[in-house]
Amino acid sequence: MSFSDLATQLADISRQCHTRGWALGTSGNFSAVVSRTPLRLAITSSGVDKGGLSPDQVLEIDEQGNAIRGSGRPSAEASIHLTVARARGAGAVLHTHSIWGTILSDAADGDGLAIEGYEMLKGLEGVETHEYREWLPILDNTQDWSAAAPQVEAVLAEHPKAHGFLIRGHGLYTWGQDLAQARRHLEILEFLFEVLGRKRGATWQR
Interface positions with a second copy (CB under 8 A)? 16, 21, 24-27, 49, 51, 97, 99, 102-103, 106-107, 117-120, 123, 128-130, 141, 143, 167, 169-171, 180, 183-185, 187-188, 190-191, 194-206
**Angle of CA points 60, 95, 73, to nearest 5°:** 35
| CB atoms near residue 41 (< 10 Å) | 25
Task: Closer to a second copy by CB, 81 or 185: give it.
Answer: 185
Least CB distance to a second copy at residue 116 (A): 9
Q: Are 90 and 182 within 8 A, CB to CB?
A: yes
Half-sphere exposure of 104 (CA within 13 A, CB side): 29
Task: Closer to a second copy by CB, 60 or 101: give it.
Answer: 101
Least CB distance to a second copy at residue 40 (A): 26
Task: Closer to a second copy by CB, 18 or 40: give it.
Answer: 18
- What is the three-class DSSP state of 29? strand
Task: Closer to a second copy by CB, 40 or 181: give it.
Answer: 181
The C-alpha atoms of residue 128 and residue 167 are separated, in whole angstroms, by 27
Least CB distance to a second copy at residue 188 (A): 4
Least CB distance to a second copy at residue 156 (A): 20
Task: Closer to a second copy by CB, 40 or 170: give it.
Answer: 170
Least CB distance to a second copy at residue 102 (A): 5
Q: Where are the beta strands (DSSP E) in the chain?
A: 29-35, 40-44, 58-61, 67-69, 92-96, 112-116, 133-139, 164-167, 171-176
The C-alpha atoms of residue 89 and residue 63 are separated, in whole angstroms, by 14
